[in-house]
Chains A and B, each alone.
Chain A
Amino acid sequence: MNLLEVKGLCKSYPGFQLENVSFAVREGSIMGFIGRNGAGKTTTLKSILHIVHPDAGEIRYFGMDFAGHEGEIKQQIGFAGGAVDYYKRKPIKKLLEVTKRFYETWDDEACRKYLALFSLDENKMPGELSEGMRVKLSLTLALSHGARLLLLDEPTSGLDPVSREELLDTFRYLRERGVAILFSTHITSDLEKCADDITYIAKGKLIASEPMAAFMARCRETGVGNTLDEIMVHYEKENLYEKAAE
């Protein structure tokens, strides 16, 4: 069953266009969402969450349209957009207390578990934490209400290698329990360790959205590259000197 279906998503900004992006995230799977900086990953995620308004396209969660089921859908999804960037001067404890009231399925025990796992002191304020620790706080908020679908924008950026590995273990643990995860990143080695599917966009256009194994096999066979890094470089490397001379 698809927990998230995106069809023909389009969004235009001056100087940038997201064109006809389509993909689906299956229950109990991890989808890596890759593309270089400025490719449109964050715009796609924001459009999916209706933080920005798509010009065209259809977005369905759990078989439901976002419009008309906004509250119901948000109860079942978790979003972490990198480091916590709000209420940096409020104690984490207070932030958690206020946030949890909104979720019917908030799990205090899970919250405590993730706070301990990530070594987060709830008496501190987000502003007192490093970038990496604020990413962990953001994930704690997203993981504590038993979300069925996690949308994570660069969740491993700013994390040390040990924390990244622990986080990937958490993703695998959640996947076994049927949670679907869509996470954008340009740390491609993270995806090679855990992604089942991959969606790749470049300059706002969809390059691929398919099972990771099939994508890698196709790229290997066609000589595009053996790793995600090589594949991205193959598709997107520009000669900056030639570009500057144009």
Chain B
Amino acid sequence: MKKLLNKEIRLSASPLSWIFLAGALMTLLPGYPILVGAFFVCFGVFHSFQTAREANDILYTVLLPVKKADCVTAKYAFTCLIQLLGFLIAAALTAVRMTLLKAAAPYVHNALMNATPLFLAFMLLIFTAFNSVFIPGFFKTGYKLGFPFLRFGIVCLLLISAGEALHYFPGLSFFNAPGGEGLGLQCGILAAATVIYVLGTFAACRVSRKRFERIDL
């Protein structure tokens, strides 16, 4: 897998996958739906799928001395690497916002979602949606990208909307406190989202491997 990941990084990856990691910097933006940053991170990975398809990467990879299905696992490994980097950037900035900048006026009076553990949990759910909606959709054919990404886009929009709306529900405004209130609950939700991300990605990878094994290239 190390060799395949090296191949993904050196040959298949679009520079945009790295550039769009900057989407995680949106975590610092006040008055902006910061979960869109997670979408941009995924959008960057989408570009690598597109670049790989145009470079005929799948045929090149399946002819290498690896199992055909490992081609799928390599795509997941690269995707998770980018998502992990995006998550770490967002987590570091969330920590900054919740400590050093917790009293900053733009965050105190922020009508939209503040950076909190709940935000990070939603970020992981968006990543899970990408891994379980877009990637298995792509590996149904090995070349169709549009509709799988559209389906992911719809799920992503719903998740962003849910994240933004949650703190407006009665009794849930504490979710949006800039310094973090109900931290125990929020961290519990983040832990649950991490479990969902890990299990969801593993399950989606298995489905994608099976689908890819079945198709004729």
Give the residue name and chain of the B residue nearest to A53 (CB): B216
Q: Are B65 and A94 in contact, CB atoms less than 8 angstroms apart?
A: no
B50 CB, min distance to chain A CBs, angstroms: 13
Bound Cα distance from A72 to B68, whole angstroms: 13
Q: Are A71 and B67 in contact, CB atoms less than 8 angstroms apart?
A: yes
Q: Are A70 and B67 in contact, CB atoms less than 8 angstroms apart?
A: yes
Q: Are A87 and B214 in contact, CB atoms less than 8 angstroms apart?
A: no
Interface string of B34-70 (1 = CB under 8 A from A): 0000000000000000000001110110111111100
Of A31-39, A99-107, A176-184, A219-227, the one with at least 4 CB within 8 A of chain B = A99-107
A241 at the binding interface (Cβ < 8 Å):
no
Bound Cα distance from A108 to B153, whole angstroms: 46
Q: Which residue from A52, A89, A90 sits with its C-beta under 8 Å from B217?
A: A52
A152 CB, min distance to chain B CBs, angstroms: 13
Q: Which residue from B10, B55, B68 sits with its C-beta under 8 Å from A98?
A: B10
Bound Cα distance from A51 to B217, whole angstroms: 6
Q: Are A101 and B6 in contact, CB atoms less than 8 angstroms apart?
A: yes
Q: Are B11 and A94 in contact, CB atoms less than 8 angstroms apart?
A: yes
Give the residue name and chain of the A residue nearest to B59 (CB): A86
Q: How many A-B residue pairs have CB under 8 A?
A: 60
Give the contacts of A42-91 with B (CB-CB under 8 A).
46, 49-53, 70-72, 74-75, 79, 85-90
Q: Which residue from A50, A74, A98 sits with its C-beta under 8 Å from B65?
A: A74
Q: Are A99 and B64 in contact, CB atoms less than 8 angstroms apart?
A: yes
Q: Are A87 and B11 in contact, CB atoms less than 8 angstroms apart?
A: yes
Number of interface residues of B (CB under 8 A): 20
Q: Are B214 and A53 in contact, CB atoms less than 8 angstroms apart?
A: yes
A129 at the binding interface (Cβ < 8 Å):
no
Q: How large is the interface on A (under 10, 10 to 19, 20 to 34, 35 or more residues)?
A: 20 to 34
Bound Cα distance from A104 to B76, whole angstroms: 25
Bound Cα distance from A51 to B7, whole angstroms: 20
B64 CB, min distance to chain A CBs, angstroms: 5
- Provide the residues of chain A in CB contact with B10, threshold 8 Å: 94, 97-98
- Provide the residues of chain B in CB contact with A87, threshold 8 Å: 11, 55-57, 60
Q: Indicate the member of B56, B60, B63 with the most A CB atoms within 10 Å.
A: B63
- Provide the residues of chain B in CB contact with A206, threshold 8 Å: none
Q: Are A74 and B6 in contact, CB atoms less than 8 angstroms apart?
A: no
Q: Which residue from A52, A97, A99 sits with its C-beta under 8 Å from B216?
A: A52
Q: A86-B55, A87-B56 are in contact. List 16 more A-B contacts (CB 8 A).
A: A49-B63, A50-B68, A51-B59, A51-B216, A52-B217, A53-B214, A74-B64, A75-B65, A79-B63, A85-B56, A85-B59, A86-B60, A87-B11, A87-B55, A101-B3, A102-B7
- The 6 A-B pairs of least Cβ separation, nearest first, read A74-B65, A86-B56, A52-B216, A86-B60, A75-B65, A102-B64
